[in-house]
């Protein structure tokens, strides 16, 4: 396989559906060649078929497997060329009321949402730091700002990502590597379609990915949206506990 333009090579995990799939389409329109990864190869192949020939290459991956992650990165670089942008987007959600509290749900979400990113970082960071270049984007969530009922496992995995990114940002910046944390609110995807509760400020996936792509060009540390939901979550973050819990109690089903 012929290597592509070294300036425009990206890798997106969790690319089979939802935000990841839409991000790939936007990147391709912007002239990127994109390596796409997800567990389900069929979804990746349908996405490739929707894109112009040669703009997308499929690399199936279970991000919870650290050795497999490194192998995929090596294949991408060998086949396409030097990566410029990596978007670690793979993630999932399981609602967990306290009546169904389960360590297995915590373990599963942490393995995918948090350790899946950590595995990718272990592969990419040495490469980018050696080159003193590259851009890493990590998909977090506004749910990581404060703990919300039924989201103790999901929120914990996203809060861990936020803390980790804050810690890594100065060190990566010092060696020329950019790091961006993406914290969306509710976006219309197959994942949110499973939610059985009202989702404030729900936005279409194309609107969300348009916003992400435009902001990525400026390389900010955090991309958070929609604005009204960001303000609400930041307000909750700064409220005294007594007021905070008086609000979140109202989220409980009667």
Q: What residues contact residue 20 under an 8 Å CB cut-off, 6+ apart?
A: 12, 13, 14, 36, 38, 87, 89, 90
Indicate whether 153 belongs to any domain. yes
Grade residue 194 by pLDDT with cuts at 50, 70 and 90. Answer: low
Percentage of residues of the chain with pLDDT beyond 90: 79
The CATH number of the domain holding residue 225 is 3.40.50.720
pLDDT, tens only, 38-88: 999 999 999 999 999 999 999 999 999 999 999 999 999 999 999 999 999
Residue with tokens 């389900």: 40
For residue 25, give the 3-state DSSP assignment: helix
Indicate whether 69 belongs to any domain. yes
Name the active-site residue from 59, 145, 154, 237. Answer: 154
Residue 145 is a catalytic residue: no
How many domains in the chain?
A: 1
Residues 198 and 88: their CA atoms lie apart, in Å, by 27
Provide the whole-model pTM: 0.92
pLDDT of residue 186: 80
Indicate whether 1 belongs to any domain. no
pLDDT of residue 133: 97
Q: What residues contact residue 225 under an 8 Å CB cut-off, 6+ apart?
A: 183, 184, 185, 203, 208, 211
pLDDT of residue 196: 62
Indicate whether 24 belongs to any domain. yes
Indicate whether 156 belongs to any domain. yes
Residue 150 φ/ψ region, left for φ over 0, alpha for ψ in the -120 to 50 degree band, beta for the rest: left
Average pLDDT, integer, range 216-245? 92
Residues 214 and 199: their CA atoms lie apart, in Å, by 25
Write down the mean pLDDT value for the chain.
92
Q: What residues contact residue 22 under an 8 Å CB cut-off, 6+ apart?
A: 205, 206, 208, 209
Q: Are strands 85-88 and 56-58 parallel, antiparallel or unpaired?
A: unpaired
Indicate whether 129 belongs to any domain. yes
Domain that holds residue 195: 6-251
pLDDT of residue 177: 98
- Tell me the β-bridge partners of 146: none
Considering just the CA atoms, what is the radius of gyration of the chain in Å?
Answer: 18
pLDDT, tens only, 102-147: 999 999 999 999 999 999 999 999 999 999 999 999 999 999 999 9
């Amino acid at each position: 396989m012929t290597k592509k333009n070294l300036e425009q090579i990206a890798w997106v995990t969790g690319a089979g559906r939802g935000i990841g799939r839409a991000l790939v389409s936007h990147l391709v329109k912007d002239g990127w060649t994109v390596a796409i990864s997800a567990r389900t190869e069929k979804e990746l192949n349908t996405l490739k078929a929707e894109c112009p020939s040669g703009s997308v290459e499929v690399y199936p991956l279970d991000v919870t497997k650290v050795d497999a992650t490194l192998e995929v990165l090596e294949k991408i670089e060998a086949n396409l060329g030097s990566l410029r942008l990596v978007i670690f987007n793979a993630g999932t959600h399981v609602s967990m009321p306290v009546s169904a509290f389960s360590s297995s749900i915590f373990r599963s979400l942490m393995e995918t949402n948090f350790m899946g990113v950590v595995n990718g970082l272990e592969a990419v960071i040495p490469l980018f730091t050696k080159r003193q270049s590259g851009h890493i984007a990590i998909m977090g969530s506004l749910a990581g700002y404060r703990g919300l009922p039924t989201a103790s496992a999901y929120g914990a995995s996203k809060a861990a990502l936020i803390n980790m990114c804050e810690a890594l940002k100065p060190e990566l910046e010092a060696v020329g590597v950019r790091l961006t944390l993406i914290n969306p609110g509710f976006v219309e995807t197959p994942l949110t379609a499973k939610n059985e509760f009202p989702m404030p400020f729900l936005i279409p996936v194309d609107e969300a990915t348009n916003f992400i792509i435009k902001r990525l060009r400026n390389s900010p540390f955090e991309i958070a949206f929609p604005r009204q939901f960001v303000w609400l979550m930041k307000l909750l973050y700064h409220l005294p506990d007594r007021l905070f819990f008086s609000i979140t109690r109202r989220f409980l089903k009667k």
